[in-house]
């Protein structure tokens, strides 16, 4: 027994106990809009903060106690202040940089813990329709990300793609969800035709509504199961953002993607940047977050449909193996500046 090591681990677990509760409080603060209110206020009493947010003062004060002792909010002489250096990653105005929204997504996943615990014991998984709220939160985060970065990232990931999209090509997005990426691209490239497929009816309704609101005429969304697509070679570019690792049948879907591309076509797969061997992920900046999100969502949704259960951390080595098995011979993987969590796979035949 290494006593120093044992003591260090007790300190680590005590930190975890505090941070774990702090993350619950951050999630609640996000849901209640408290960070957004605090961001606009000078140093204030809990009464003023409660009045401004329309919430009960006693609850707000207890929550502030957690925020102050957790180092998120400052406290002096009975008054509280959210420093701007903290607000910039905790408020809705922060968009895709809002860590409170990521923390909130974790809290939403723990709402499903009893079903996942049941799956530990009996096998199977938890299907997509149990994750409506979680998918909404992720769609919002992805929308901010796509709006901000996708159009800059595409030409970096696929040389010459900008010219082709400007001239006019056929683009399919698989697992498009609420369609934010497809709509952003359709607005930027009016001569190209965009189609998005997803299983979830509600997501497709929202994607279509957004396209109508934008007045886009070169985009269309359809409820389709990727595992049952016809594989006519109709597409110049197929994109899949965060979608292959969720699939029940990822090998079949990749095979269909490959057959659906025209001869000079490209598949752009954006997926989690990780190694397939957990031992190589020890210093990954988001290891527990990714394995946990996978366990409570990505892996279990695949297993719910009797699937392969790749999980979000399937990693580059496994991804290359499956892409090659589907018939892609030319696979480039890049990490784009400012996006450490994702890898961009550009696959050609
Ligand atoms: C993690 S979400 C990503 C959504 C979107 N691409 C984004 O980045 O915001 C995965 C999406 O894949 C869809 N999906 C999973 N399996 C599918 C299948 N077999 N056919 C069609 N869509 C599927 C889900 O409904 C979900 O919208």
Q: What is the pLDDT of residue 203?
A: 93
Q: What is the mean pLDDT of each run of 10 residues along the chain (349 residues)?
A: 97 97 98 97 98 98 98 98 98 92 94 98 96 90 81 89 96 95 94 96 95 93 91 91 96 96 95 97 95 98 97 98 97 87 94
CB of 177 closer than 6 A to ligand 1?
yes
Contact partners, residue 47, CB within 8 Å, separation at least 6:
57
DSSP class of 264: E
> Using CA positions, which residue lies closest to atom 8 of ligand 1?
241
CA of 217 to the centre of ligand 1 (A): 23
Neighbour tally for 277: CB within 10 Å: 11
Q: What pLDDT was estimated at residue 145?
A: 78
53 lines ligand 1 (CB under 6 A): no
* pLDDT recorded at residue 148: 75
Distance CA(13)–CA(181), nearest Å, equals 40
DSSP 290: H
Task: Determine the Cα–Cα distance for residues 205 and 198; give it in Å rounded to an integer.
Answer: 10
Query: Using CA atoms, how far apart are residues 1 and 36, in angstroms rounded to an integer?
Result: 48
Name the region of 190 (left: φ>0; alpha: ψ -120 to 50; beta: rest). alpha
Collapse the DSSP code of 154 into the 3-class scheme (helix H, G, I; strand E, B; otherwise coil) and give the result. Answer: helix
Alpha-carbon distance of 299 to 316, in angstroms, equals 17
157/161 Cα distance (integer angstroms)? 9
The DSSP code for 326 is T
Cβ atoms of 241 and 270 within 8 Å: the answer is: yes
Indicate the pairing of strand 170-174 with strand 193-198. parallel
pLDDT of residue 141: 84
Which of 3.40.50.620, 3.40.140.10, 3.90.1150.10, 3.40.50.150 would CATH assign to domain 111-348?
Answer: 3.40.50.150
pLDDT value, residue 321: 98
Residues of the chain with CATH 3.40.50.150: 111-348
DSSP 61-123: HHHHHHHHHTTSSEEETTEEE--HHHHTTTSGGGGGG-HHHHHHHHHHHHTTHHHHHHHHHH-
What is the residue with the minimal CA distance to atom 11 of ligand 1? 175
Compute, in angstroms, the gap from residue 348 CA to the centroid of ligand 1: 22
For 3-95, CATH number out of 1.10.10.10, 3.30.930.10, 3.50.50.60, 3.40.50.150 equals: 1.10.10.10
Give me 270's structure tokens: 């954006």
CATH 1.10.10.10, the chain: domain bounds: 3-95
82 lines ligand 1 (CB under 6 A): no
Q: Which residues of 206-220 are buried (b: 16+ CB within 10 A; e: fewer)?
A: bbbebbeeeebebbb
**Under 8 Å between Cβ of 102 and 137:** no
Ligand 1 center–CA 159 separation, angstroms: 26
CB count within 10 Å of CB 347 equals 26
């Amino acid at each position: 027994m290494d006593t120093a090591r044992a003591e260090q681990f007790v300190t680590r677990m005590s930190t975890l106990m505090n941070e774990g509760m702090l993350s619950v409080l951050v999630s609640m603060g996000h849901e209640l809009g408290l960070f957004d209110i605090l961001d606009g206020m000078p140093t204030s009493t809990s009464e003023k903060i409660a009045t401004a947010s329309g919430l009960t003062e006693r609850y707000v004060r207890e929550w502030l106690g957690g925020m102050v002792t957790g180092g998120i909010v400052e406290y002096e002489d009975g008054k509280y202040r959210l420093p701007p250096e903290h607000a910039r990653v905790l408020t809705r105005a922060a968009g895709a940089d809002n860590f409170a929204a990521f923390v909130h997504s974790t809290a939403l996943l723990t709402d499903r813990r009893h079903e996942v615990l049941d799956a530990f014991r009996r096998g199977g998984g938890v299907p997509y329709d149990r994750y409506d709220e979680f998918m909404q939160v992720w769609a919002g985060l992805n929308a901010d990300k796509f709006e901000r970065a996708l159009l800059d990232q595409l030409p970096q990931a696929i040389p010459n793609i900008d010219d082709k999209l400007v001239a006019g090509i056929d683009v399919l997005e698989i697992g498009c969800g609420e369609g934010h990426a497809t709509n952003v691209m359709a607005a930027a490239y009016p001569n190209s035709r965009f189609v998005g497929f997803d299983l979830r009816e509600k997501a497709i309704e929202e994607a279509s509504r957004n396209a109508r609101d934008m007045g886009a005429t070169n985009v269309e969304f359809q409820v389709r199961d990727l595992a049952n697509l016809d594989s006519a070679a109709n597409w110049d570019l197929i994109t899949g953002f965060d979608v292959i690792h969720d699939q029940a049948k990822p090998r079949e879907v990749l095979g269909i993607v490959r057959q659906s591309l025209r001869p000079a076509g490209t598949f752009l797969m954006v997926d989690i940047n990780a190694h397939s061997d957990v031992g190589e992920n020890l210093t990954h900046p988001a290891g527990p977050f990714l394995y946990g999100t996978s366990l409570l969502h990505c892996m279990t949704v695949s297993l719910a449909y009797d699937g392969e259960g790749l999980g979000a951390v399937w990693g580059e080595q496994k991804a290359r193996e499956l892409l090659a098995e589907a018939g892609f011979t030319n696979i480039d993987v890049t990490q784009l500046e400012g996006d450490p969590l994702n890898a961009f796979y550009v696959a050609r035949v």
